[in-house]
Structure 1
Amino acid sequence: MVQTIRIEAAARGRAGKGAARATRREGLVPGVVYGAKQEATLVAFDPRDIMKELNKGGWQSHLYEVAVKDGPTERALMRDVQFDPVTDRPLHIDFQRLAPGARIRVKVPVAFLNEDTSPGLKTGGVLNVVRREIEVLADPDAVPEKFEIDLGEATIGDSLRWSAVKDTSGTKPVIVGRDFVVATLAAPTVVEDAPAAAPAAPEAAKQKNPAGAASASTKGPAKKK
């Protein structure tokens, strides 16, 4: 079971852009908890709590208990964050409420194991990661923190596919009907040396030496008439 993180929230009474701006003027981040065929709950958060979660990384795969002051505690996923284009501060947070028994759609990061012992990498191969995250349907109580792929026996030319993913959580990939590629191990790129430059052709001056001929014609005293 993935860790559930508690985050405090205050209730908001009104929706709309004007109400959201008023919430921001109070130093809070407006948000909403929606889904599970229930009415949306308007909330506001301390921006420090939000930034703490965003800085952790992988927040889209974390479960949250949104504890509304004087209201319900909602079990939810953080789905979307809108940022100020200038300050990069969060402007609005969307949480998706979890319905009992429902699977959730999440992106799970991929980690690669035993890169230092991979025969392909040890001989100069290059790991090309096609998907750093895999989108899956998962039980809310069994969302994996990451997927792992073992490179311990991977050689140059190998393709690491979904079937190579170590998944003990019973997730199902959103991509269905094929064993899709997650990464490949390619041969190293060989850069050929440029051909050596041909020696410069002798200059015409060195062959005919017109300057030397001119000096030879003027060598010695002039004849008297």
Structure 2
Amino acid sequence: MAEIKTLAATVRSGTGKGAARSVRREGNIPGVIYGGGEAPTPITLNYREINKLIYAGHFLTTIFELDIDGKKERAIPRDYQLDVVRDTPMHVDFLRLKAGSRIKVAVPVHFLNQDVAPGIKRGGTVNIVLHAVDMLVPADNIPEAITIDLSTLDFNDTVHIKSIELAPNCTPVDKSNFTIVTIAPPPGGAAEAKRAPGKLCSAQAAESRHMLSS
């Protein structure tokens, strides 16, 4: 299950561009929390905290317990806006999480043991098709990642989504058996990689014999 983090917020009275600019002038970030059968609530967030969380990674798959003026709301970020020039946070949208509900999230894919994979040892490369998978998951049990062990993969081996054991009640949005990762052989092909080091091919051997006899 994804880690739950605590984040303080306050309700802001104004809405619209003017109110949002006022919040930013005070060194904070405007946001909104919506969903769960309740009306959207405009909120104010600490700029430094939000900036740190966004650039730490996995922000959109992190569950937060928002402390909004003493009222606790469990939520997940659904979107955020950055300044087009400075890449600083401008606005954050949160979705309320209610027990029993399911939401769509992009779950990151983590790859293990690629350094010991037979195909990698023989000169192949890991061809990552998807770094994240869109999934429908329980709102109160969002997986941190999909983990794939590459330790047994050789040239042209492929891992499809249906060969992976997923967390309970978590299903991909795409119902096909799509590819996540493959092991590609080196540019010379599998035959080149299998050739024993220092062993000459027949043409090279013939040329060497000719040079020695001349």
What's the TM-score once normalised by structure 1's chain length?
0.80
Structure 1 residue runs without a partner (length 5+): 192-225
Aligned residues between the structures? 189
Say whether the 8 Å CA contact 1:2–1:141 is kept in structure 2.
no
Q: Please report how far the alpha carbon of residue 104 of structure 1 lies from its aligned counterpart in structure 2 after TM superposition.
A: 1.3
Q: Please report how far the alpha carbon of residue 108 of structure 1 lies from its aligned counterpart in structure 2 after TM superposition.
A: 1.1
Say whether the 8 Å CA contact 1:80–1:93 is kept in structure 2.
yes
What's the TM-score once normalised by structure 2's chain length?
0.84
Provide closer, same or farther for how the CA distance between residues 60 and 169 of structure 1 changes in structure 2, counting only shifts above 3 A.
Answer: farther
Tell me which stretches of 4 or more aligned residues in structure 1 moved more than 6 Å.
none
> Which residues in structure 2 correspond to 1:188-203 (within 5 Å)?
188-190=186-188
The residue number in structure 2 matching 1:51 is 51
Q: Please report how far the alpha carbon of residue 92 of structure 1 lies from its aligned counterpart in structure 2 after TM superposition.
A: 0.6
Structure 2 residue runs without a partner (length 5+): 190-214
Q: Please report how far the alpha carbon of residue 145 of structure 1 lies from its aligned counterpart in structure 2 after TM superposition.
A: 1.1
The RMSD of aligned alpha carbons is: 1.5
Say whether the 8 Å CA contact 2:98–2:139 is kept in structure 1.
no
- In structure 1, C-alpha distance between the alignment counterparts of 2:153 and 2:162, rounded to whole Å: 14
> Which residues in structure 2 correspond to 1:180-191 (within 5 Å)?
180-190=178-188
Task: Report SS of the residue matched to 1:141.
Answer: coil
Output the amino acid matched with 2:121.
Answer: K
Q: Please report how far the alpha carbon of residue 168 of structure 1 lies from its aligned counterpart in structure 2 after TM superposition.
A: 3.1
Identity of counterpart residues, as a percentage? 38
Q: Please report how far the alpha carbon of residue 100 of structure 1 lies from its aligned counterpart in structure 2 after TM superposition.
A: 2.6
Task: Report SS of the residue matched to 1:116.
Answer: helix
- In structure 1, C-alpha distance between the alignment counterparts of 2:166 and 2:74, rounded to whole Å: 24
As a proportion of its length, which structure holds more strand? 2
Which has the larger Rg?
1
Q: Please report how far the alpha carbon of residue 148 of structure 1 lies from its aligned counterpart in structure 2 after TM superposition.
A: 0.8
